[in-house]
Structure 1
Amino acid sequence: MQTIYKSYIFIFILSLICFSCELDDTLPQNGPLPDGVSNTSANLDQFFGQEVTRSFFGEVVDTDSNPIPGVLIEIGNQQARTDINGIFSLRDVSTHEKFSYLKASASGYVTSGRSLRPSEGVNRVKIMLFSDSSTTTIQSGEEAQVTLPNGASIVFSGAYIDANGDSYTGSVRVTTNYLDPLDPHINEMMPGMLYGQDIQGEEAALETYGMISVELRGSVGNKINIDPNSPAEITFPVPTSLYNLAPDIIPLWSFDEDAGYWIEEGSAVFNGTAYVGSVTHFSFWNCDAPFRLVDFCIGVTDENGDPISNVTVILSSSNSPGESSGITDLNGEVCGKVPAGFSFDLSIENECDEIIYESVIGPFNQDTTIDVTAPILQYDHVFSAVGTVVNCNQEPITNGYVIFYLGDEVSYGTITNGQLNVVLFDCLSLDTLSYEIFDVDTLLSSGMIDVSIESPVTNLGEITVCSPSQEFIVYTISGEETVFYVANIVGYGNEDDNGYKVRVNGDHVVYNFNSSDRVLGSYTFDTTDNFEGLKVYLEDLKVDPSEPNTLVFELTAFGEIGEYIELEFSGAYTNLSGELKSVTGEMKVIRDH
C-alpha cells in the first residue's frame, strides 16, 4: 500500500550544535590558500557511492507557494519540465547511491535546486525559487552598495567580468535575496542541502547563520560576475536570538551549481549584529559552522513489525535554533548524514501533525542505523483510496500522479503501474474528497472528480485519463534565453487550407503555419506573405528574411478541435539585429477553433 505525500523528503543534514572558532579577527578575504590545498574545485564524489538508478517526483513553487510551470529540472544528462501544477517526474535516472542533485532553472527566477540522498522508492522533493524581479541597477567603474530592508548588504568595487572572463563595462542589474536561518521554509528555499566540502576537501555538515543569493546581469541580460581581483564586501545580518550562539569567526561557503553542494571559501567576522566577509565571485553565499559527519538511517515500524511510511522524523537539539526532518519511505526508512558526537531529540509525527513517538538518541561516532517502534496508526481520519488508472487506449498509466484535495490540504502521489492504492489522512473529518490524475507523458488528465469518503476504503473504480488539460510553448535561444508560454494560448485551425495560427495573450501571434493538407512531417521557415505551398513563421524569433536560415519544423500532431497540435523545431538564423542565433523548442497546444 502506498501513502500519499503532503510533504517532501528532506535529506538529514543536521547542523544542530554550535561551536566556537579562534581565528584572526581581521576582516577576512578569499585570498591565497595554503600550499597544496584547493577548496574551489568540487571533489566529493568519493563519498557518494556507486552509480544506481533512482526515480524522482517533485514540486517547484515560488516564495508565495504558488506552482511554477515550465521550470527546467536537470539531473546528470536527464531533464524534465514542470507542468501547469509545478510538478515534475523523472524515472529511472542514473545517479549516485548516496547523493543526487536536481538543478532547477526558469526564466524570471534565480537558479536553485535540491540535493538529497536518494532511496530506492520514488524520491519526493520540493524546491522554492526566488523571483529575479527584486533588482537594483548599478554602473561598472563605480563603487556601489546594495542594501536589503533587513540590513543584508553588498559593497561592489565596480570591476566586473563577462562569462568569458573579459572585462565588462555598462549597467549591472543586481538581484539579491536574503535567506533567514530561522525561516521554516529554509530547507525549500536554499539550494542543495546543508552539506559541503571544507577547505581540506572533506565532507562536512553545516549549521547556517544566514544566506544571501546574488545574481548579476549585464545590460542585455547576460550573466556577469565581479572581477576576482576586486572583491566585494558582503554583510549577513544575524537574528537576535542567535547572537549568543554565533562564533566570533565563521567559514564562508559558496554554492556550486554544477556539483550541488557548498564549498568553503574564506571566512566572516561577527561584529555583534552581523557577519562581514569578502568574496571574489557571486552565487549563493552562506555563513556556516561545519561538523564531522556520519551516515545515519532510522527505520520506523509499528507494534506488529510493519513499516510505517510517510511519517515525519524530526531531529533537534537544545544547542541549536533549527531542526531537520525527513519523511519515511515505503519501507519505513529515512537516511542521511548527521554530525558525529552529539545527542538529538527525536520525535515522529503523523500526517495530522500528531506526535506518535519521542526519545533522545545518540551520540553517534560511526555510521549507524537505528530502529524504533511507534504505535499502530489507528485513527478515525485515516482511510485508503483505491482504483485503477488507464489512458485513452485503456492501457495502465505508468508515469502519472494524483492530486488529492481535502479542504485546504493538498496531497500528491505517484502512479507507476496503473494502480491507485493510497492512505490519506482526513485531518478535518470531511465527507467529500476531490482529486485529479495526470499522465506526465501525454499531459492528459482525468479532470476534477468529487467522491464521498467511505472509511476504511474509498473505491474510486476505474479512472480514465484522456482529457487534454495542459498546453505549452517552450524554446531556448542560443542555449541561454528560455521562453515558456503556458497560459492564454489559443490554437486556431483554418477550415480552408487546414493551416493554423497560435496566439498568446490575444493578439500576439507566436506561430503561423500554412499547408494545403494536414500532412505530418518536416517543414522549413518562411516569412513571405504569398502563402503558396508550405509556410511556417515564428514571430518571436524576429528572423531577418533577407538572410539564409536552417530552421526546420517537425509537425507531429494536428488534432481536431479539443485535441493537440504538436510541433518540434530547431536550427540557426540571423535576427533583425544582425545577430547569428540558434534555437531549439517544442509546442503542444490544444486546438480551440
Structure 2
Amino acid sequence: MKGIRLFSLLVLLFAVLYACQKTDSGTGSGHQAEFVRVTLSGRVTDENRQPVTGAKVTAGSTIIATDADGYFSLRNIYVDQNATLVKVEKAGYFTGTKTIISEVEKNNPVAIELIPKTVAGVINGASGGEVTVPAAGGSIRLQPDGVIDPQSNKPYTGAVTVSAYFIDPSAENFRQIMPGTLRGITTNNDETGLQSFGMMAVELNGAGGEKLQIASGKKATLHFSIPEALRGQAPATIPLWSLDENTGLWKEEGQATRQGNDYVGEVSHFSYWNCDAPFPIVNFTVTVHDQQGQPVAGGEVVISSNATDTISISASGHTNAEGIVKGTLPANRNLTLKVYDKCRNLLTTKNIGPFSTSTDLGTIVANIQTGKVTISGSVINCNNVPLANGYVLAEIENVYYSIPVTNGSFSQTISRCGTAPASATLKAYDITGNSAGTAVGLTINGNTLNAGQLSSCGTALNAYINYTVDGASIYVAPPGDTIITVNTGSNITLIGSFPKNDTTKIHIIFQMSGERRAGTNHNVSIIYAYKGEQEYTRNGVVTAAITEYGAGVGEYIAGAFSGTVIDSLRNRIVPVQCNFRVRITEKR
C-alpha cells in the first residue's frame, strides 16, 4: 500500500438547502442572513504579494484550491448576500478571511493576503506561561493547566507552541490582511461598524502540530500594543471582539482596559481578537468609470472618516466587472472616498457625506494616467469547438485580470501599471469542462494585444486530492499525477494518489466504508502515507464526510476528512487533512 496527504478542493455541501433559507440571527435587529447565488473569484497572495498555490478556499458550502497563480473561481454558489465569507487555509499561515456584500448573479472580486505564522514562544501546558508578540509588542499569558486538546477534550500538558501576529490598523497593508470586515454583532445582537485599535491572531499547537485551545473555565490574558497613531483617541475601556469564522462578522465578547499604551483583556478561546469601538453604519453603492465612461474593474474603493480623531474609521471594497461595489459606510460623518487601481495607485479623491440612510453614491470618474491595453482573442475547448463558459486569466506586471469568454471570444480593455513594453501571460479556463489550458506568453507593445486562439484543454481541474500530512501540503491532479479509485464489495472504496516521478512528496492511500450516496459519513478504516522509508498510518477514529458519490466508473466521489496519523520513524502523532474529488476508475 502507498500513502496519503491532505488539503482541499471542490466540496459541494448542501448548497440547495442554503438557497431556500433565510436565517434569523437572534432576537435583536442584528444580521439577517439571506442566501443567494453568486460567483466569487480572486487571488490569494503571501506577505510579498506572491501567489499562494494550493491554498484551500471555502465559501458557503463549496471548497476549492488555488491554482499555480494563486487564483480561484467559485461559480454559481450559494452564500449569505450581506456577509459573504471567503476563508483561505494554507500550512504556515493563519487562516485568511474576507467578508463582502455580494452582487446577485454577478462575479464578485475578492483579494486575500495571508499572514505568515510567526512563533512567539513555547510554553508548558501544565505550568502555563507568557510569550511576547513578535515585532509589534504585546503579550499572551496562559494559566497553569489552561490548555486542552479539543479533539479529546483532555488537558494538554506538553510543549505548546504559541504563534501570534499583531495587525496594526494604522499600517499601510491593514486592508489587505485584515480578517473578515469591520462589522460586528454586539451583545444586544445589533449589527455595527467597528473602529479598530488593534487586532491579534493567536494559534496554539501541540508537539505534533495539532491545534489546541484554552481549557474550559480558564482564561488567557492578552496585551494589545496600541499603535502610536491611535493613542490620542484610544478610550479608557473598549469592547473585545472575536471573529466568528462561520459568519465572517465579529462577535462582542468582553472588554479590554487601557493600561498605559496597551489594552489588556481576558479571552476564553483563541481565534482573531479585536479591540474596537462600535459606530453606526448605513449601506452604500457606488459605480466607478474611467474618463471614457468605461467601468473600472478590480479597483479598490476606500471610504474613511476625515476627522482627525477618527482616522481608523473606514470601509472598503473592490469593484466588479461593471465597476460597481456595495458595502457599508460610517453613518452621520463627513467622509473621504478614494479609488485605487489594481496597482494600488490613487486614482481619485472625493469628499462625501454625511449620510443617515442607505445611499447610492452614483458614478465616480477615476483619473487613470497609466497605460491601457485591449486584450482579445478566441478560445476552443477540449472538443476543439468554441468555449461556451469560461474565462482567460491574464498576468501583466505581476497583476492578474480575469477576462470572461463569450461564445468562444474574449475582449477587455484593462488599465496597466505602466506604459513601457511588458510581458503578458494568458491562460484559458473551461468552467463547464473543469479544465485549463497551457499558459501562453506574449509581449505588449502598444494599446492592443491579439492573443490569437487559446485552448482551455490540458489540465483537468475536476479530479484532485489535496492533502496535508505532518505539515506538508500536496496537491495531486491528473494528467500529470495518477489517482486510482476502486469500488469493491461491501460498500468499500479505495483511493490512492501518486505524484508523478516525484519521490520527495508524500504519497497516500486511504480506504473508506459506508453507504454509497452523498450526505453520508464514511469510516476511514485505512490511511497509509509514505515517502521513502517514512510511513504514516491511521491513529484513532477518522470519519469522512461524503458530498458526492457517483454510481459507476467515470463518475465522481468527493469528500473530506481530518484526524491524526502515526509517524513510524519518530513514533509521534501528527495531524492529517484531506479534501478530494476523484473519478471512479474501477468497480469490482
| TM-score normalised by length of structure 1 | 0.73
* Secondary structure of the structure 2 residue equivalent to 1:244: helix
Cα distance 1:511–1:249, how it changes in 2: closer, same or farther (>3 A)? Answer: closer
Distance 1:438-1:178 versus aligned 2 partners, 3 A rule? farther
Q: Structure 1: how far apart are the matches of 2:449 and 2:278?
A: 49
Q: Which is worse superposed, 261-270 or 319-328?
A: 319-328
- 2:436 is aligned with what amino acid? L
Q: Say whether the 8 Å CA contact 2:474–2:505 is kept in structure 1.
A: no
Q: 1:241 to 1:454 in 2, by over 3 A?
A: closer
Give the alignment partner of residue 134 of structure 1, picking from 91, 94, 119.
Answer: 119
Q: Provide, for residues 478-531 of structure 1, a one-character-per-residue CA deviation record: whole Å limited to 9, x for no partner.
A: xx98842479x98699xxxxx996467545672699xxxxxxxxxxx999xxxx
Match of 1:539, SS state, is strand
Inter-CA distance 241–465: structure 2 relative to 1 (3 Å threshold): same
Contact 2:170 2:230 (8 Å CA) reproduced: no
How far off its partner does 1:375 sit?
A: 6.8
1:366 alignment counterpart: 357
Distance 1:246 1:133, change over 3 A: closer
Q: Paired residue for 1:263? A: 251
- Greater mean alpha carbon deviation, residues 341-350 or residues 234-243: 341-350
Aligned to 2:147: 160
Aligned position for 2:264? 276
- Alpha-carbon distance between aligned partners in 1 of 2:349 and 2:536, rounded to the nearest angstrom: 63
Matched, 1:402 2:389: no
Relative to structure 1, the CA distance from residue 93 to residue 416 in structure 2 (aligned partners, 3 Å threshold; closer, same or farther) is farther
Structure 1 residue 411 corresponds to structure 2 residue 395:
no
Question: Aligned partners of 1:370 and 1:268: how far apart in 2?
Answer: 37
1:546-569 superposed Cα distances (whole Å, 9 cap, x missing partner): xxx99xx99989xxxxxxxx9989
Could you say which structure has the larger radius of gyration? 1
Residue number in structure 1 paired with 2:45: 61
Confirm whether residue 475 of structure 1 aligns to residue 459 of structure 2. Answer: no
Q: Distance in 2 between matches of 1:410 and 1:469?
A: 25
Call closer, same or farther: CA 1:458–1:156 in 2, change over 3 Å. Answer: same
2:77: which partner in 1? 93
The correspondence of residues 61-460 of structure 1 with structure 2, limited to 5 A, is: 61-120=45-104, 121-132=106-117, 134-148=119-133, 149-158=135-144, 159-163=146-150, 165-301=153-289, 308-316=296-304, 317-319=306-308, 320-322=310-312, 323-350=314-341, 357-374=348-365, 381-395=371-385, 396=387, 398-405=389-396, 408-417=397-406, 418-439=408-429, 442-455=434-447, 457-460=448-451
Report the Cα offset of residue 91 of structure 1: 0.2
Length, aligned pairs only = 504
Q: 1:510 aligns with which of 497, 507, 510?
A: 507
* Contact 1:97–1:118 under 8 Å retained in 2: yes
Q: Give the equivalent residue in structure 2 for 1:466.
A: 457
Offset of residue 107 of structure 1? 2.9
3-state DSSP of counterpart to 1:188: helix
User: How far 1:314 moved relative to its partner?
Assistant: 3.0
What CA distance in whole angstroms lies between the structure 1 residues aligned with 2:229 and 2:345?
27
Q: What is the identity, as a one-letter code, of the residue corresponding to 2:275?
A: C
Q: Mark the runs of 5 or more structure 1 residues left unpaired by the alignment.
A: 1-40, 494-498, 514-524, 528-535, 558-565, 589-593
* Maintained 8 Å contact 1:401/1:439: yes
CA separation in 2, counterparts of 1:63 and 1:44?
Answer: 39
1:421 aligned partner, one-letter code? S
The DSSP-based 3-state class of the residue aligned with 2:232 is: coil
Q: Percent identity?
A: 26
Contact 2:528 / 2:536 at 8 angstroms: preserved in 1?
no
Partner of 2:536: 542
| Maintained 8 Å contact 1:303/1:373 | no
- CA deviations over 1:282-328 (Å, ceiling 9, x no partner): 11111111111111122345688765544443323233334543333
Q: 1:505 to 1:364 in 2, by over 3 A?
A: same
Secondary structure class of the residue paired with 1:83: coil
Per-residue deviation, 1:130:
2.7
Change (3 A) 1:66 1:202: same
Task: Decide which moves more: 208-217 or 118-127.
Answer: 118-127
Q: Distance in 1 between matches of 2:363 and 2:252?
A: 36
Which has the larger displacement, 148-157 or 41-50?
41-50
Please say which of residues 348-357 and 435-444 is displaced more in the overlay. Answer: 348-357
2:10 match: none
Structure 2: distance between partners of 1:542 and 1:71 = 23
Query: SS in structure 1 opposite 2:374?
Result: strand
SS at structure 1 position matched to 2:395? strand
CA shift for structure 1 position 184: 1.9
Counterpart contact for 2:343–2:399, Cα < 8 Å? no
Structure 2 CA distance, aligned partners of 1:300 and 1:583?
Answer: 42
Deviations 1:377-432 (A, max 9, x none): 6x682231111122232240624441222xx4422214353432111224422234
Q: Is residue 195–residue 276 contact of structure 2 (8 Å, CA) maintained in 1? A: yes
| Alpha-carbon distance between aligned partners in 1 of 2:28 and 2:70, rounded to the nearest angstrom | 31
Q: Are the counterparts in 2 of residues 80 and 90 from structure 1 also a CA contact under 8 Å? A: yes
Q: Does the CA-based 8 Å contact 2:442-2:451 persist in structure 1?
A: no
- Seen in structure 2, the aligned counterparts of structure 1 residues 54 and 48 have a Cα distance that, compared at 3 Å, is farther
Aligned 8 A contact 2:381 2:430 in 1? no
What letter is aligned with 2:159?
S
Summarize the alignment of residues 520-559 of structure 1 with structure 2, pairs less than 5 Å apart: 539=530, 542-543=536-537
How far off its partner does 1:330 sit? Answer: 3.3
Contact 2:131–2:140 (CA<8 Å) still a contact in 1? yes
Distance 1:343 1:388 in 2: 48
For residues 574 and 409 of structure 1, the distance between their equivalents in structure 2, rounded to whole angstroms, comes to 39
2:413 aligned counterpart, secondary structure: strand
Give the partner amino acid of 2:262.
Answer: A
Amino acid corresponding to residue 109 of structure 2 in structure 1: R
Q: Supply the distance in 2 between the matched residues of 1:447 and 1:205 (Cα, whole angstroms).
A: 43
Question: Hey, what's the Cα distance between the residues in 2 that align with 1:256 and 1:403?
Answer: 34
Contact conserved, 2:240 with 2:276, CA < 8 A, in 1? yes
**Post-superposition offset of 1:251:** 0.9
Q: Structure 1 pair 253/538, CA: closer, same or farther in 2 (3 Å)? A: closer
Cα offset, 1:212, TM superposition: 0.9
Instruction: Specify every segment of 5 or more residues in structure 2 that has no aligned partner in the other structure, as ranges.
Output: 1-24, 484-495, 511-523, 584-588
Query: Normalised by the size of structure 2, how large is the TM-score?
Result: 0.74
